[in-house]
Structure 1
Amino acid sequence: MNPRRKKRLGIVLAIFIGISATVGLMLYALSQNMDLFYTPTEIVNGKDDGSKPYVGQRLRIGGMVVPGTVKRDPDSLLVSFDLNDVGPKVTIVYEGILPDLFREGQGIVAQGVLKDATTIEAFEVLAKHDEEYMPPEVAEAMKKTHQPLEYSQEQKQGSGQ
């Protein structure tokens, strides 16, 4: 091989190795930051495919705050509460200021780390808003393009539905 071809081959190999290393590092970083979504029942019993989260795994959990289970530490921002769906309960421990929409009986999504089989140490808690809520811009657009909700309900009642 002449020196010119050796130099080209070296450059092509260096570029290929550089791109491979970059892609490998990106995939590794993405796998470390992937949070799987679970419900309380899936955490306790496992998902349909048999997979169950392991202690120390980062995850997201969604469910309803069980009424009467919110416990606040008077000396700090530490809060614990139970979360459930249709099955078993899971305890969420969170240190921080809860969202304004957080209340008992409300749906929430928490992101955190599984500490044991039924306890999650959350670092973020998001409260779901009421399903009937509609931003003002959307409500205004709906008024322009659709008939009012009251009219459509009266129409249904009048037609016997």
Structure 2
Amino acid sequence: MTRKGKRLSFIGGILAVIGLAAGLVLTALSDSVAYFNSPTDIVSKTPSPGQRIRLGGMVEDGSVIRGGRETITFRVTDTVESVPVTYTGILPDLFREGQGVVAEGTLGPDHVFLADTVLAKHDENYMPKEVVDDLKARGLWDHDKSAPKAATPEAAMTGVGS
């Protein structure tokens, strides 16, 4: 084999290794990424079993049931559809009916969302960006009643707007 042929083989081998490494990294990232879904998204296009997703919306009024130990069931709604959620653990202090919530987990075979993480809103005007975007896209966002306060550096320093 000539010098030029050896050099081309070496460069081809390096490119193959880089391509393989990139493929493995992308596969690992896609397995760990949890895509955001509203209850309407989950009802209309059921995610595959075991796929990690983030479910965002409001805790439906009258739906919270505290079971034995630390198991809680509730429904998350986007005013169009609602999805039952089961969570075992300690809920955030700000978790309550009628408030914004984002749950991360998987959808069970019985179409109950099995959450392993529940995040509650942090003040009376906050709503997750994904939920706001989804409500705006469907024309359900009332800016005057539900708009989150703008988080500015000045507001954080002075306490104004929070």
* TM norm structure 1: 0.72
TM-score, normalization by structure 2: 0.71
Shift of the 138–126 alpha-carbon distance from structure 1 to 2, 3 Å rule, reads farther
Letter in 1 for 2:86: V
Please say which of residues 17-26 and 30-39 is displaced more in the overlay.
30-39
Which residue is 2:39 aligned to? 40
Q: Once the two structures are superposed, what CA deviation does each residue of 1:55-107 show, in whole Å capped at 9, x if it has no partner?
A: 33211111111122212223x21111111111222111111111111111111
Deviation digits for residues 95-140 of structure 1, max 9, x if unmatched?
1111111111111000110113641001111001222678796436
SS class of match (1:116) = coil
Distance 1:23 1:70 in 2: 44
Give the SS at the match of 2:108: strand
Taking a change above 3 Å as real, the CA distance of residues 138 and 5 of structure 1, as seen in their structure-2 partners, is: same
Q: Which amino acid aligns with 1:94?
A: Y
1:34 shift after superposition? 2.4
2:155 equivalent in structure 1: 139
1:60 aligns with 2:54: yes
2:87 partner letter: Y
The offset of 1:141, in angstroms, is 4.9
Rg larger in structure? 1
Match of 1:72 in 2: 66
Equivalent in the alignment of 2:115:
122
Question: Which letter does structure 2 place at the counterpart of 1:96?
Answer: G
Provide structure 1 residue ranges, at least 5 long, that are not aligned to the other structure.
47-51, 150-161
Overall identity of the aligned pairs, in %: 41
Letter aligned with residue 77 of structure 1: E
